[in-house]
Amino acid sequence: MARAALGLGSARALALLAVASVALLPLVSSDDGYGHCEGVVRGWADSSTGREKDGDKLSLKDLLFFLHIPRTGGRTYFHCFLKKLYTNAQECPRSYDKLRFDPSHPDCKLVVSHDDYSLTSKLPRERTSVVTILRNPVDRVFSTYEFSVEVAARFLVHKNLTSAKLMSTRLLTKSRAVSTLDIWPWKYLVPWMREDLFARRDARGGDKVPSSKKVNAYDVEDMVMPLHQYINDPVAHEIIHNGATFQITGLTNNSYFDGAHEVRHCVRQHPDLGRIVLEVAKNRLDQMLYVGLTEDHEESARLFAHMVGAQVLSQSGTLNLDLKEDLRTENDSHPSMVEPEDEETNEHLNSTHGWQSTEALNSTSDEQGKGNMTVGKLMEAYETCIAKLRKSQSNRRKISLKKVEEANFSKEEHLMLKAQQSGVGQHRLLAEQKGWTEIICSDGTCSPWMVVMLGLGITAIIALVSFAVTTRRRTSKLKV
């Protein structure tokens, strides 16, 4: 049953990935350097595919690599699943902000990172299982934009951009924490949005809110970079467009593969070569232990608990773990974190202390107490944890966006804007369908002679088609 469920999830994941890899690419390709680019892309694909080995894909190996695609709900898996399955000592330290650990260390059992698939070149491949989560690419673009604004807006408590930069540098120097500004892709997207926010604030003369009338939160131009401008910018083209596909294939601008830039450039210049990259991505997904879907969150979570969680518990000998609430994770924080008011540094934290004593197990008491972890208890702990985490994230977003109140994104507005975009697409389709009628009709009136001529033309076409079909049938009988 688990295999069937995984197959269904993988099929839908592949469909999402295909949409992500095709939807944002241009439809035309230049012939300039096509032969060279084809060789580059195919050469990379052959070497990438050659490294994959067949085996029992559904068996957990010694090291689990959670390839965290941004804005897919991966933080809930990290805090509400993985941190309940692995101790801090088993979690490879600082794996979110580049490789700063020895993956061959026997206590290193869990890597959670935004680093792309090329990170596996640094891991013991034969001992590593990979899991990931995919999301509808349109929703992921919305979420990436919203989070870029949210994190950058936290800096607006400072009087100017220079002050904000100096303060964040000082805090991070004193702290052992990991900042969002250390982590791909936010280390590119947040500073870009931060500079834009300060520029717009300076242009409007401070924190004054221009109007209280109803506005589109995704197009508050005097306060925040509009969504359409954000997604059409070269920075977004480099990082966000086809981001999931490039991350799964190890071709982001954060790749450990030296030739990633050239392959990515060739695919953008000659979009039809993207099909080769897509095949590699599909092959990678097929080799993974688990692929979840953000849209099927509950089903994916149950599958993760039964397929991955159960195997972790089995390998650890039903490890005696504390079913903790771990209140600190509600703010994505860690004991080494800076204070909450400096919340621009409060994202995506990982262990910073390496393999130290088990005192750092974050063992806070709850009503369930200690006991042998089971899949059922894991799911109960997950449900409790995710409810608290979602509430915390919602409150944090409200606080973060206080300085840009009109850009207070909501799920309802998100869906409404998507519907509007869908409506525009349907309008264009209808316009194309009505184009032929506008040739013979104008201002709502049609010439009788034009209608007669149109009818005769259609009749003639039908007659010609019928004649051709009849002739072909006669020919076929003669041959027989």
pLDDT in tens, 13-57: 554 554 444 443 444 444 579 999 999 999 999 998 765 555 678
Report how far residue 141's alpha carbon sits from residue 143's, in angstroms, rounded to the nearest whole number.
Answer: 5
pLDDT higher than threshold 80 for residue 433? no
Catalytic residue, chosen from 125, 200, 328, 397, is 125
Distance from C-alpha of 376 to C-alpha of 285, rounded to nearest angstrom: 27
pLDDT for residue 306 is more than 80: yes
Strands in 35-146 per DSSP E: 63-67, 110-113, 128-134
Contact 184, 373 (CB under 8 A): no
Greater confidence (232 vs 332) lies with: 232
Of the two residues 247 and 328, the one the predictor is more confident about is 247
CB-facing half-sphere around the CA of 67: CA atoms within 13 A:
29
DSSP string computed for 228-239: HHHHHSHHHHHH
Confidence at 4, pLDDT banded by 50, 70, 90: very low
Please name which of 192, 191, 225 lies closest in space to residue 404, comparing C-alpha atoms: 225
Contact 136, 294 (CB under 8 A): yes
Using only C-alpha atoms, the chain has a radius of gyration, in whole angstroms, of 27
The Cα–Cα gap between 218 and 202 comes to 20
In this predicted model, which residue has the larger pLDDT, 286 or 447?
286
pLDDT 10s digits, 172-219:
776 666 778 888 999 999 999 999 999 999 998 877 766 555 578 899
The pLDDT score that the predictor gives to residue 52 is 54
Is residue 125 among the annotated active site residues?
Answer: yes
Tell me the one-letter amino acid at 450: M
**Residue 270 scores a pLDDT above 90:** yes
| Contact assessment for residue 228 and residue 242, using Cβ atoms and an 8 Å cutoff | no
pLDDT of amino acid 249:
97
Residues 347, 331: contact at Cβ < 8 Å? no
Q: Which of 146, 150, 325, 344 is catalytic?
A: 146
Placement of tokens 């032929």 in the chain: 436
Q: Give CA–CA dist 60/277, Å, rounded.
A: 27
Choose between 463 and 248: higher pLDDT: 248
Better-predicted residue by pLDDT, 305 or 8? 305
| CA–CA distance, 43 with 50 (Å, rounded to integer) | 11
What angle in degrees, to the nearest 10, is found between the helix axes of 186-204 and 161-174? 140
Instruction: Tell how far CA 158 is from the center of its chain.
Output: 30
Which residues are CB-neighbours of 278 under 8 A, at least 6 positions away? 17, 18, 21, 22, 245
Report the distance separating Cα 52 and Cα 248, nearest Å: 14
Identity of the residue numbered 212: S
Tens-place pLDDT, residues 328-366: 333 333 322 232 333 333 333 333 333 333 333 333 333
- Region 251-276: mean pLDDT is 94
Lowest-pLDDT choice from 101-110, 217-226, 463-472:
463-472
Task: Name the pTM for this structure.
Answer: 0.74
Mean pLDDT of the chain: 75
What percent of the chain is predicted at pLDDT more than 70? 63
Per residue in 364-406, pLDDT (tens digit) is 333 333 347 899 999 999 999 999 999 999 999 989 998 898 8
Q: What pLDDT does residue 459 have?
A: 57
User: C-alpha distances in angstroms, 276 versus 37, 43, 116, 254?
Assistant: 12, 10, 18, 21
User: d(Cα 120, Cα 445) in Å, to the nearest integer?
Assistant: 67
Contact residues for 359 (Cβ-Cβ < 8 A; gap 6+) = none
Helical ranges in 179-250 per DSSP H = 186-204, 227-232, 234-239, 243-249
Above 60 in pLDDT, residue 140?
yes
Alpha helices in 219-372, H assignment, sequence order: 227-232, 234-239, 243-249, 260-269, 274-287, 297-304, 310-315
How far is the CA of 442 from the CAs of 299, 447, 452, in angstroms?
54, 9, 16
Pick the residue with more confidence: 183 or 144? Answer: 144
Burial class (CB in 10 A: 0-12, 13-18, 19+), 347: buried
